[in-house]
Amino acid sequence: MAQQAILVVDDEAPMRKFVLHNLKAGGYNVLAAADGSEALKLASEHPLDLLLLDIGLPGPDGLAVLQALRRDMQVPVLMISARGREADRVKALDLGADDYLTKPFGVAELLARVRALLRRSSTGPKGPLPSYQYQGLEVDFGARRARLRGEAVPLTRREFEVLAYLARNAGKVLLHRQVLQAVWGNEYGEEADYVWTFVQRIRRKIEPDRHHPIYVLTEAGVGYWMPPSEVDTPADPRSGEGQAVARSVGAEGT
């Protein structure tokens, strides 16, 4: 049986070595990174079963790394941090962390949390999500690009992020606030015109008739949604179930 791969990200060398040593002793294949940039590079280059991620990192901090990974990957994330306040734990979990372990911690608790996360994720897909496909539109999350009937769509980075977030949650109506906070960050929430502007820009590039869209649809007074993918795509645990609004029929305005 192949060893399960774990990436440990911590800028404190003693803590990194402590976690690395004990995970290796537990039979895991372990990679290590000391900053956010290195973590993102390793995550893009190696298939991972679990990520242990400190919050206080140089470069992109742990929360920024978590947000970046959650746009494209389903790998379970265990946050490890000296920040033990409830607000810190809630913020990390809201951004997509699967669990949170406060420093200092013992070997037994560390390994128990690791085993629990690996058990829960053992039947689910890892790495990039399968591409979204619907009536000639393909959104490739791993490659971060979109194609329309085989031709590349020239989306900006932010346009792709908006489209990808809607596609990952296809079949659900997403509130303006949800899209804002997922793409722009948690400090946003009232700037609904941002989302409207980018949806219009996306529609100009992908819709046959942007006044009668078939890909990015409007739920009047609520938000936006995309039809379910035509390929068999597993449910995305990052999709924020319980927050999206059930779609009602016949409200596809612009």
| DSSP assignment of 176-200 | HHHHHHHHT-TT--S-HHHHHHHHH
Look up tokens 């379970």; give the residue. 76
Fold of 132-225: Arc Repressor Mutant, subunit A (1.10.10)
CB atoms within 10 A of CB 27: 9
Tokens of 226: 């995309």
Q: Quote the pLDDT of residue 187.
A: 64
CA distance 89 to 160: 29
pLDDT digits (tens, 9 = 90+) for 174-226: 998 888 888 877 667 777 788 888 999 999 999 999 899 999 999 988 899 99
pLDDT digits (tens, 9 = 90+) for 139-160: 998 888 999 999 999 988 788 9
- The parts of the chain modelled with pLDDT lower than 50 are 124-125, 234-246, 248-254
5-121 matches 132-225 in fold: no
Instruction: Indicate the domain borders of the chain.
Output: 5-121, 132-225
Report the CATH superfamily, name and number, of domain 5-121.
Answer: Response regulator (3.40.50.2300)
Predicted structure pTM score:
0.54
Q: Quote the pLDDT of residue 241.
A: 38
> Which one-letter amino acid corresponds to residue 203?
R
